[in-house]
Amino acid sequence: MLAVADDYDAICRLVDKERETNPAAKGLSPYAAGITPKVKEVDDWVRAHRESEKWLFECHPELCFQARAEGAAPAPKTSAAGLMERLRLVRAVFSDAEDQLRAAEWPAKQVGISDLLDAYGALASAVQCARGHQEVLGDGERDDEELVVRMVL
C-alpha cells in the first residue's frame, strides 16, 4: 500500500484485490489512509538508513496505554471514559500533562485531545527506550528486506 500512499482510491483497489484471495483482509479507514504518506516517508528513510534499527523503535499508542494499564485495554478513546483513563495513565508518567494539554495552542480542527494523548502515550514509550527499559514485542524477525520487525511498549 505504501507505493500508492497518497491515493486512497488506489489503496481501496489494492484491498479489494487482496480480498479476492483473502476475504478476511482488513481495509484502511480514510483516517488511517490519511497518515500513509508519513508512514511511507519514515519507511523510505529507515530503508535508506539501515543502521537506524539500533536506536529507532516503532510503537502504537493503544498498546502503550494497554501496557501502562497493566494489560487491560482502556475504553475506546472516542468515549469520555476512554479519554479520562488515558489522561490518568499519562498523568502517572508526566505529572504536568494536564497543564501542558490545557496550554496547547492547536485548534481542535487540527488536532483532537485523543491525538494529543496518543502522542503522550508514544512519548512515555520513548522515555522507556531512552532508559533502556522498554518492553519489546517481536522476536527479532525480519521482513523481506531484512529490516527488524518489532514494536515497543
Distance CA 82, CA 76 (A): 5
Looking at the fold, whether 41 and 70 belong to one and the same domain comes out as no
Are residues 147 and 47 in contact, defined by beta-carbon separation less than 8 angstroms? yes
Average pLDDT of the chain, as a whole number: 92
Domain count, the chain: 2
The 3-state DSSP class for residue 146 equals coil
State which amino acid sits at residue 127.
Answer: V
Looking at the fold, whether 43 and 61 belong to one and the same domain comes out as no
Looking at the fold, whether 42 and 102 belong to one and the same domain comes out as no
Looking at the fold, whether 44 and 92 belong to one and the same domain comes out as no
Task: Mark which of 28, 48, 68 sits at the end of a domain.
Answer: 48
Least confident of 34-48, 79-93, 98-112: 98-112
Residue numbers of the domain that contains 24? 1-48
Position 141 scores a pLDDT of 92
On the question of pLDDT at 104 being above 90, the answer is no
11 contact partners, CB below 8 Å, separation of at least 6: 1, 4, 5, 28, 33, 36
Looking at the fold, whether 120 and 140 belong to one and the same domain comes out as yes
On the question of pLDDT at 108 being above 80, the answer is no
Cα-to-chain-centroid distance, residue 28: 14
Per-residue pLDDT tens digits for 1-59: 899 999 999 999 999 999 999 999 999 899 889 999 999 999 999 999 999 999 999 99
Looking at the fold, whether 38 and 57 belong to one and the same domain comes out as no
Distance CA 50, CA 127 (A): 22
